[in-house]
Chains A and B, each alone.
Chain A
Amino acid sequence: DAKTTQPPSMDCAEGRAANLPCNHSTISGNEYVYWYRQIHSQGPQYIIHGLKNNETNEMASLIITEDRKSSTLILPHATLRDTAVYYCIVRVGGNQFYFGTGTSLTVIP
């Protein structure tokens, strides 16, 4: 019973928008969706989170569907430094966070 489902890998041309999808069809009404990224084997880094409305910060935008069963992280102008594994995360069972295996994004020069 997967909590989140993401494509294992994606490529994106440098300077173009990277759109990373995530399915979280079992999400409950009061759970947030969080996005993190991990560069090499460093500690995961927070990017953005949302509940119902679309969100934007200096790093990315988050689009959440109306039924909240899926979301898309958008990196508007991908750079080589955005090459990383991106995790879509939901909180389950109170205070556990389900990470899944993420999407490995490669930004191509």
Chain B
Amino acid sequence: EAQVTQNPRYLITVTGKKLTVTCSQNMNHEYMSWYRQDPGLGLRQIYYSMNVEVTDKGDVPEGYKVSRKEKRNFPLILESPSPNQTSLYFCASSSPIGIFSGANVLTFGAGSRLTVL
């Protein structure tokens, strides 16, 4: 089944304790992205990656790192988590579809709910 898999799904941690949220896709997609979702703010993009070793900042990259060493994986790293990073995180991937090369349909993971105390 084509899917984006995130782990962990739920995590409670403490301020300053480094953590990594993994994201893996089995669709051979070039494009991958991380979003955070907070009440009243919708989904905001953290980082995205066009392909292996190519990453770029989204709208809210502060406090996060990413890497793209393999096409299928795009981990989100919180080096020193703080309470304002408590949020619901989504990973997504896409490739262009059909004959319209400009269209990108995103496939989302199930989400990772992170609480930083």
Binding site for B on A (CB under 8 A): 30-32, 34, 36, 41-46, 49, 51, 87, 91, 95-97, 99-102
Contacts and interface: CB of A to CB of B under 8 A. Distances in A.
A101 B42 contact: yes
Interface in B58-117: 58-59, 88, 90, 92, 100, 102-111, 113
A44 B111 CA distance: 9
Interface range, B side: 20 to 34
Contacts of A44: 43, 90, 92, 106, 108
Contacts of B12: none
B75 to A, nearest CB: 17
A87 B104 contact: no
Interface in B25-73: 31, 33, 35, 37, 40-45, 48, 50, 56, 58-59
B111 A42 contact: yes
A5 to B, nearest CB: 12
B103 A96 contact: no
